[in-house]
Structure 1
Amino acid sequence: MPLMLRWWLCCCCVWAGVAQAALPVSLQEALSKAQLPLDSVSIVVQPLNGEPPLISHHQARAMNPASVMKVVTTYAALEALTPAYRWKTEVYRNGPVNHGVLEGDLIIKGYGDPALNNAELWRLLQQVQQQGIKHIKGNLLLDTSIYAPELSQRPILDDEPWRAYNVNPHALLVNGGHSSFRFGVSRESGKPLASVTQEFELPQIKVVNTMQVSKGACGDWRSSLRYGVTATTEGATVTFSGTLPEQCDERYLELSVLSQQQYAVYTFKKIWTQLGGRLDGNAIAAVLPATASLVTTWWSAPLDVVIRDINKWSNNVMARQVMLTIGMETGQTPVDENSSAVALKEVLRKRGLLFPELVLDNGSGLSRNERISAEHLAQLLVTAYQRPTMPVLMASLPILGLDGTLKKRLPESPSQGMAYLKTGSLEGVSSIAGYVQDTQGKRYVVVMLVNHPLASAARSIQDGLIKAVIEGR
């Protein structure tokens, strides 16, 4: 799809004081063929050397960006918190310790660490035991009061309530609040059988496997998989049915079948027991008692590491907790999404980024309400490119044809590795935004937002636009 970038430069005009360039005919024809009206698309292609934009089509229109909104959230976090920011998780005791026995309660206070996984919780509990606590005669208290209670009760976006992308924030989020189920084909009995196991097994989650093995390549294996979840106050039963192609190697599906509180408690109990510990009491949600004494503190990986997981793999709950952290660090307690959105906008304002159309629901893009214009996304990316945090933000974005959500897009030369872009998709939304370098070494900001029932058809058009910028056509 030749776009004749040099021709665009000659056709720039001025509208409302903003350099504007019409869509090339070939791009208009591609959109028409995909049945995407021109008014459903916003595009900006902006050289980073200060030249006028090559394309600025409906650039000021407020659009739903889907997960591209994570670029806004993570950039604001880098500015507000610094790349070296770390979250803490504190452990307290409320009672004396005698010969390894805590005569009272153990308290874990969460501060919204978005990246606390099972291995890190294991190390934290090992630290607790190294402080001389082996046997807890009282209760396990979980203090999540830093977050407003309603955050855990937000409605889900679609009809997939158990999928990991729908997990709500939690101040003591362990392993993203989800379980990873591993699928494979076993041939130990001589006949291929479909196997389903938990990657981190919790006895409170029971797996019922009625899957059959089918012939053929793995392909779109998920389309043949069915599952059902029965959740109780004590755990959950997950039933898997359908077929698994015999040529599949290991495949994974992340589901959140327990509440975040349940997952944290059950994971604590499993690890604590594995470490040789004992808990006599119950797990209770409670606020840290004033009489409690600090035992140890776990510090998370720094923000520059965390945002790579957020942007490369489009992790919703981690992005939501990062936005909440921006609000928390302004002194909002308990913190909620409304106050955090105000705090995030103030961070942008201090960098001269005034976006009146910006609507922040939760900062992840998992929303029907969030809005931003392509023009302002491009302005943010240009500003970020000039800031000291630029290398961190760029490194967090998926690399074209190499990793993250872009691993399978334009993997061939010369496109591979030539762009760092965030993708976004919801039903009726397809978006992409980030940095593209052409074969001559010149860099551009590219933003394309599509809001239309047929938005999924825009992916190939986005790829064509990116490829044309790379090749300077």
Structure 2
Amino acid sequence: MRDRQLHHLSHRMYRRALRPASYLLVLLGIGLSANGVVAQEGQESSALEIQEVPEVPALEEVERRDYPELEQAIDRVLSDPELQRAKVGVHVEDARTGEVLYSHLADEALNPASNIKLITAATALDVLGPHYTFSTELATNRRSERSIDDLFVIGSGEAFLLFKDVLAWAGELRLQGIDTITGDIIIDESAFAEGYLPPGYETRDTDASYRSSIGALSVNFNTVTTTVTPGAMGEPGVVRLDPPQEHIEVVNRTRTVGGSLARVQVSAVPTAEGTRIEVGGTIGQGAQPVAVRKRVDNPAEFAGAVVARAIEMVGITFDGEVRPGEAPAPEGRERLHVHSSSPLIDTIAAMNKWSNNFMAEQVLLATARGQGQPATWPQAIGKAREFMVRAGFDAEAFSLHNGSGLYEGNAVSARQFVALLRYMRGHAFGPEFIASLPIAGVDGSLRNRLREPHVAGNLRAKTGTLNNVTALSGYVQSRSGRQLAFSILINDPPRRAWIYRPHQDQIAQAIANFDE
């Protein structure tokens, strides 16, 4: 009965997580997989306290039985000669009792890629709660009837801040009668004490949007979309940046040609001032627009430039500079407007459904904010490790390097992921956690996978993909009616790891079809 109630509650939480219109932007691909593609004081709108969670039973406390049909089905997949050359950890337990149904190299800590987001999501829900919100404050040091001196924009780490939000702020200032900013626009990003690159990101030098920078004030996931459309014959193509701003330099070397083909290359080059977008190639007069998303390298100044553009768009005069800096203490500034984010669960749902790395890093770092102190990575990793030990992890048997799972440095075993899944199933915010996971054959990164009968719409799991890693960990109800928690981790196969997703899916199908 409890399983059925949990399923229905989880489904309601999933529908709620899809509410914001901004979720559609993630649906359109703002953040995809790890391989491709919210506190100034956050407001807690719920008084719900985290309940005491029963400890996960130790393995020896649960009687182990043999299930030969399940074992044979999974072993048959693992016998593939190529998988024999890889490191594969598989672990399946009854999510309620902890009975082990299958286990293969389950204690070997492997790179889980984006399955690390399960830890990020669980930690954030445990530390902050699903209704936590992030505040972005607009303030000034001096105001007259129709003008202000400096405009301070004070970020707190929101991960879902879009240009439409910034434009709404500007409109609010205009409605207050402000038509001139005589000073500067100053971006206060002191909520985060760390640099723009999360741990491990320095190991790769790529302009890909999935490796975007982080920051206490971040707009549009710290990415910019370059759209190229045809110009006049023989002339350069037309290049437009979204969100609009004047911070990023554009070098346009494109040429409009006949036909309907587009051969356009877009790259983002770090500069002393921030980022330069270089566009080259040809675009046919009959070609469809080409849109490419790239990371930006100076989030604070990028956000400030977006604010400046929005200010100008609503008719507020501004001739000053955009620069980073700290706002005066609350008693020394006048608050003009406060923007509150949607509840944290909305960000976590988008993060898990679409495996958005930027969101994961922002969310994990935000868990380290406390009593006005800037968040640091050692504190954030410490929060996650503390939670993981409480969830049943051996402190010496795993490695946590960042919140997204990108690149190397993270190592978790299949058995540990199952322990986490079982722990969260009994957590006060377990329904929200479960609802945030992709649903097989329905949405997120599993929308085109596991569409077979009994699996589609039933299995909920987090995917993970790197060049040498494919991972899948989550929940499914078996044919016998059991709620099962499972983890499948594949590392270092002879070819690109995504090639082995069908093997992974076959194992997941065998688990879902388990019938005793």
Give the structure-2-normalised TM-score: 0.77
Alpha-carbon distance between aligned partners in 2 of 1:213 and 1:374, rounded to the nearest angstrom: 54
Q: Distance in 2 between matches of 1:403 and 1:194?
A: 36
Structure 1 stretches of 4+ with a deviation exceeding 6 A read 14-18, 20-23, 193-196, 211-216, 248-251
What is the rounded CA distance, in whole Å, between the counterparts of 1:159 and 1:352 in structure 2? 33
**Matched residue, 1:469:** 511
Deviation of 1:125 after TM superposition, in Å, equals 2.5
What residue in structure 2 maps to residue 206 of structure 1? 250
Whichever residue aligns with residue 167 of structure 2, its letter is W
Counterpart of 2:498, as a letter, is S
Question: Which amino acid in structure 2 is aligned with residue 312 of structure 1?
Answer: K
Look up the match of 2:174: 129
| Counterpart pick for 2:353 among 304, 307, 312 | 312
Q: Which secondary structure state, in structure 2, belongs to the residue aligned with residue 98 of structure 1?
A: coil
Q: How many residues align?
A: 446
Superposed counterparts of 1:70-109, under 5 Å: 70-95=117-142, 97-102=143-148, 104-109=149-154
Indicate how the Cα distance of structure 1 residues 161 and 213 shifts in structure 2: closer, same or farther if over 3 A, else same.
farther
Q: 1:328 aligns with which of 361, 369, 379?
A: 369
Aligned with 1:327: secondary structure?
coil
Q: Which moved more, 1:463-472 or 1:175-184?
A: 175-184
Q: Secondary structure at the match of 1:24?
A: helix
Letter in 2 for 1:283: V
Opposite residue 309 of structure 1, the aligned amino acid is A
Matching of residue 343 in structure 1 with residue 383 in structure 2: yes
Q: Which of 501, 506, 513 is equivalent to 1:459?
A: 501
Q: Which moved more, 1:175-184 or 1:462-471?
A: 175-184
What amino acid does structure 2 have at the position aligned with 1:200? P
Matched residue, 2:341: 300
1:15-414, aligned counterparts within 5 Å? 19=64, 24-33=71-80, 35-37=82-84, 40-50=87-97, 52-95=99-142, 97-102=143-148, 104-152=149-197, 156=201, 159=204, 161-182=206-227, 197-203=240-246, 204-206=248-250, 208=252, 209-210=254-255, 226-232=265-271, 233=273, 236-241=276-281, 252-290=291-329, 291-329=332-370, 331=371, 333-350=373-390, 354-414=394-454
SS at the partner of 2:498?
Answer: helix
- The alignment yields a C-alpha RMSD, in angstroms, of 3.4
SS of the equivalent of 2:323 reads strand
Change in CA separation of 1:280 and 1:82 when aligned onto 2, cut-off 3 Å: same
Q: 1:225 to 1:239 in 2, by over 3 A?
A: closer
CA distance in 2, matches of 1:435, 1:445: 5
How far does residue 241 in structure 1 lie from its aligned partner after superposition?
3.6
1:288 deviation in Å?
1.5
Q: Which whole-Å deviations, capped at 9, do the CAs of 1:81-102 have from their partners, x for residues lacking one?
A: 111000111111011x223111
Q: How far does the alpha carbon of each residue in 1:23-53 deviate from its partner, in whole angstroms, 9 at most, with x for none?
A: 8355444334351237711111122241622
Residues 149-204 of structure 1: CA deviation (Å, up to 9, x unaligned): 434486635656211111122010111110124578x7x999xx998654434454
Structure 1, unmatched stretches of 5+, are 1-13
1:3 maps to: none
Query: Match of 1:130, as an amino acid?
Result: L
CA offsets per residue over residues 204-258 of structure 1, 9 Å max, x none? 4536345889999xxxx9xx864333444275232144789x9x97775321145
The one-letter amino acid of 2:303's match is A
Distance 1:67 1:312 in 2: 11
Cα distance, 1:240–1:430 mapped onto 2, change above 3 Å: farther
Residues 236 and 258, structure 1, Cα contact 8 Å, conserved in 2: no
Report the alpha carbon displacement of residue 280 of structure 1 after superposing the two structures with TM.
Answer: 2.5
Give the one of 448, 456, 464 matched to 2:488.
448
- Does residue 419 (structure 1) correspond to residue 459 (structure 2)? The answer is yes
Contact 2:213 2:295 in 1 (8 A): no
Distance 1:113 1:136 in 2: 25
Do the aligned partners of 2:268 and 2:275 also contact (CA within 8 Å) in 1? Answer: no
Contact 1:327 1:344 in 2 (8 A): no
Distance in 1 (CA, whole Å) between partners of 2:412 and 2:457 is 27
Query: What is the rounded CA distance, in whole Å, between the counterparts of 2:376 and 2:483 in structure 1?
Result: 38
Q: In the alignment, which residue of structure 2 is the partner of 1:9?
A: none
Query: 1-side partners of 2:444 and 2:350: how far apart?
Result: 9
Deviations 1:266-310 (A, max 9, x none): 211111101111222111211112322222211111011110111
Shift of 1:262: 2.9
Any idea what SS the aligned residue of 1:358 has? coil
Assess, with a 3 A threshold, how the Cα gap between structure 1 residues 391 and 270 changes in structure 2: closer, same or farther: same
Structure 2, gaps ≥5 residues long: 1-57
Q: Relative to 1, partners in 2 of residues 1:451 and 1:352: Cα closer, same or farther, differing over 3 Å?
A: closer
Change (3 A) 1:196 1:286: closer
- 8 Å CA contact 1:107, 1:143 repeated in 2: yes
Does the aligned pair in 2 maintain the 1:337–1:361 contact within 8 Å?
A: no
Q: Secondary structure at the match of 1:44?
A: strand
Take 2:369 and 2:298, find their aligned partners in 1: how far apart are those partners? 23
Could you tell me how far apart the structure 1 residues matched to 2:372 and 2:110 are? 29
SS in 2 for 1:54: strand
Q: CA deviation at 1:442?
A: 3.2
Q: What is the TM-score of this pair, normalised by structure 1?
A: 0.84
**Worse overlay, 120-129 or 250-259:** 250-259
